[in-house]
Structure 1
Amino acid sequence: MLFGRRAGKIKRLLIVEDEPLVAFDNEHFLIDIGYTVVVTTDDAAKAMAAIAVGGIDLILSDVALARGSSGVEVARAAMAADIPLLFVTAACPIDAPSLAIGCLAKPYTQRALKQAIEAVETRLHGGTPKRIPPGLTLY
């Protein structure tokens, strides 16, 4: 495809979100635009089990999760497995720059989520993103 969008390396996503409507909307939107959602879960233990299985290119994680668990736990497991993580949350933890590739502030639009993933991919491959959506901070 001469002028088409190049095939990205980020294809398989893990969604860690405790708000059911947000999780549902994100999962279906991301599938509709061509990503594979490996697992959608609302707690750290299930996310860490998915990380252990592997096959994940990027993790989208809220910070406050179900049953008192935390996205920070997920971020530490992701670091150990060398999987990039983007926090998608209302308030990023203070240590987010050492745990994640970035943070997308809630509320965000589907367009901002798509652009955030594209910006993360560009950054992972050593480039400078052309578009940074509102609410996205890259580290």
Structure 2
Amino acid sequence: MIFGKRKRSIVRLLVVEDEPLVAFDTEYLLREQDYEIVATVDRVAHALAILNEASDIHLVLADLGLADGSGLEVARVAGEHGVPVMIVTGHCPPEAEGMAMGCLIKPYAPRDLLAAIRVIEDVCEGSRPRKLPSGFRLFSRELPGKADSAAAS
């Protein structure tokens, strides 16, 4: 396909963000780019409930500082369900590396968010990303938790 759009493997996203304007802008941008937003939530408890109920989430975008806890808990549970996570925060702590596929630093340009999602999609499909967007750090080439489950079998 030279000029056509490639088929996406990441379509359905869970947005976990406690800043209303950032949440609104993110949801609007992603919908405009034909992503489906499963939900936009601002609390860890809500995110965990959705992760435990929904079976078809392709990516979680998780802020860290939430009113009822840390987005790292969301990332941990998403990893247990085999759902990739991108941390989206002002400062990414070292412990995020074991729980997420990457981290995008706020504030970010809309094109950088979209490019970071494409990078995670490429990695999930086994491709090597050509270039990382500004403010994005890729942690791993595999889903957190998959190496552990493979070693256990």
The two structures have a TM-score, normalised by structure 2, of 0.87
Structure-1 separation of matches of 2:128 and 2:96: 20
Q: Which runs of 4+ in 1 moved over 2 A?
A: none
C-alpha deviations, 1:92-132, integer Å up to 9, x for none? 12211110000000110111000000011001111111231
* CA-based RMSD: 1.1
Unpaired segments of 5 or more residues in structure 1? none
Q: Partner of 1:133 in structure 2?
A: 133
Q: Partner of 2:83 in structure 1?
A: 83
Q: Does 1:26 align with 2:26?
A: yes
C-alpha deviations, 1:19-56, integer Å up to 9, x for none? 00000000011001010000000010000011011220
SS of match in other structure, 1:95: helix
C-alpha deviations, 1:51-107, integer Å up to 9, x for none? 01122000000000123x110110111011110000000111221111000000011
Contact persistence 1:57–1:84 (CA under 8 A): yes
- Given residue 63 of structure 1, which amino acid in structure 2 is its aligned partner? L
Structure-2 separation of matches of 1:43 and 1:33: 25
Q: Partner of 1:59 in structure 2?
A: 60
Q: Does 1:38 align with 2:41?
A: no
Q: Partner of 1:73 in structure 2?
A: 73
Q: Partner of 1:104 in structure 2?
A: 104
Structure-2 separation of matches of 1:121 and 1:70: 24
Structure-1 separation of matches of 2:131 and 2:114: 11
The two structures have a TM-score, normalised by structure 1, of 0.95
Structure-1 separation of matches of 2:132 and 2:2: 25
